[in-house]
Amino acid sequence: MSFFRKIKIWVVDHWIVVSVVGGVLLCIGLTWWGMSQLESFYRTMTLATMPMTMLMWLVSSVISAFVYVSIMFGYFSRMDKKQVKSSSVNVRFDDVLGIDESKDEAREVVALLKDRTRLKNVGGKILRGILMQGPPGCGKTFLAKAIATEAGIPFLSLAASDFVQVFVGVGASRIRKVFKDAQRQAYASGACIIFIDELDAIGRARTYSSMGGQETDQTLNALLVEMDGLQGRQESIVVIGATNAPEGVLDAALLRPGRFDRKIYVDRPNLKGREQVFGYYLKKVQYDPSLDIPRLARRAVGKTPAEIENIVKEAALIATRQGRDKVIFSDLSEAFERVDLGIKHRRSMTDTEKKMTAYHETGHLMATYFLHPTDDVFKASIIGRRGTLGVVWKVPREELHSHTKVHLLANIKVSLAGYAAERMVFNTSTSGVSADFENAMAIAHNMVWQLGMGKKYIGDWEMVANSANGSLNISESARTELNEETNQILQECLKEVEELLTKERPLMDRFVLELLRKEELEYDEIEAIFRDAGKARGMLPGF
């Protein structure tokens, strides 16, 4: 009994095997029976055609398996996209905007490429690899294309992320193929550029983990081998890698001499650069000729060319939606906010809430105007947006890369001013101050704990406290004192702001009235009110 049960269970478990074997046996049996029924002539004929039939069957099954695998792993779509394209790129240096310093370096590269024969004769260093570094959207790809166009050589481009494959070895073989392609192109035109975007996708410092690291390692190794192989060649192939990853992320082997040993930093454009970019994109849309492009550029501190393009397009959209055929300043102003903060939604606020918001924002506005050494107020608004009830838009007068104590203190004062204004007028405060406090406290904490701007302690105490055995290195009393100093900075800043707002109370009330009436005040309107009150602090020359 149990024997039959065992068989039954085995059959249930292996029903696929059982049915396949059964089916095959049945086929063979039927064939056998059929053949024995035939006359000998037909039997011979059937046997003679059998090898051919089986061969055909084999070929067709191989083909269908190949098609299946291709579709599964998307080879066809990749072939269509032609990730390696020797496109006739036609980008001139004049088309590359806003990154003049990077452009100068690129010009040098072009000169080197053009003079390669002369350079070779003198025995000078020949370019192999250039690394373009910088934030996304600043025009690295564009610049690489411009180098190719200006030097008059073919341009192959590929994205490194496409090379990270499911199958080990596929990425490496693709790298080899690209270099072979480049050699052919270089043979025809004397030189060729291979542009590898997102180089960090394969060029990350090699990891020896068992999970997933292997494929990128193989790809990276293939790239290194190919680049080293360029050394002895007649034709010059230059590899340009682009990355927005910070230094140190890339494998050190990539940066060795003979590989990516020349760097071009492609940074966000400066004021002049942004002016050019605005001018360029505005030319593509219809705009009001009275538009103040330098002011737009000022307001777009820290924006990349891609973001500026986005702002201009958004502004054109807003103008169209409002039935205008020209972009005016307020469209751009609106577009700035949309890009940075999202679309505004008018919430219904009670009158008191509105008034409190107006005072809160006016506090920020006045503190910025009177106490901040570098920031200008561009706009104040009491229309709600993504989580905020109002906003004061301030922009530094020039791009600052480090901050002084005065500057940091001013930032704290500006942050606390909303709270100060609320408390002064209503003798209470709202929950709207929490983000401001967070900001102010973070700055004050940094000043004391990290930047040596406190009174008693200097040094990076944050680092000490965060070290593995922090409790051993920093005493409880030091901690308390550091926190006390932090609080003291906040208190002193608050006091200064309160004094200012008390002194300028009439002006504050006036701003609140204007805000409640118009909901939004632009730069000109704000400046006019200050001027009217005899408090104008002057503008930057040419602005």
Angstrom distances, CA of residue 366 to CA of 50, 279, 354, 500: 95, 32, 18, 9
Three-state secondary-structure class, residue 107: helix
Residues 6 or more apart whose Cβ sits within 8 Å of residue 256: none
Q: Which is nearer to Zn ion, 2 or 431 (CB)?
A: 431
Element (DSSP H or E) covering residue 504? none
Min CB(101)–Zn ion separation in Å: 37
Q: Which of residues 306 and 341 has its CB atom nearest to Zn ion in the complex?
A: 341
What is the C-alpha to C-alpha distance for residues 220 and 181, in angstroms, rounded to an integer? 18
Q: In angstroms, give the least distance from the CB of 386 to Zn ion.
A: 14
- Alpha-carbon gap, residue 132 to 325, rounded angstroms: 40
Q: Which of 235, 361, 485, 498 is an active site residue?
A: 361
Which CB atom, from 155 or from 419, has the smaller least distance to Zn ion?
419
Least CB distance to Zn ion at residue 498 (A): 16
Per DSSP, 127 falls in state P
* 247 is known as an active-site residue: no
In whole angstroms, give the CA distance from residue 303 to residue 308: 7
Residue nearest to Zn ion (CB): 418
Q: Is 298 within 8 Å of 543 (Cβ atoms)? A: yes
Q: How far is it between the farthest Cα atoms of the chain?
A: 120
Q: Residue 452 carries which DSSP code?
A: S
Binding site for Zn ion (CB under 5 A): 418, 436
List the structure tokens of 16.
Answer: 């696929």
Nearest to Zn ion of 246, 387 (CB atom): 387
Cβ–Cβ < 8 Å for 446, 403: no
- In whole angstroms, how close is the CB of 382 to Zn ion at the nearest point? 11
DSSP string covering 170-196, please? HHHHHHHHHHHHHHHHHHHHSEEEEEE
By C-beta, is 436 or 520 nearer to Zn ion?
Answer: 436
Residue 395: CB minimum distance to Zn ion, A: 17
Q: For Zn ion, which is the closer residue by CB, 217 or 436?
A: 436
CB of 460 to Zn ion, least distance (A): 30
SS3 assignment, position 459: coil
Give catalytic residues, as residue numbers.
Answer: 361
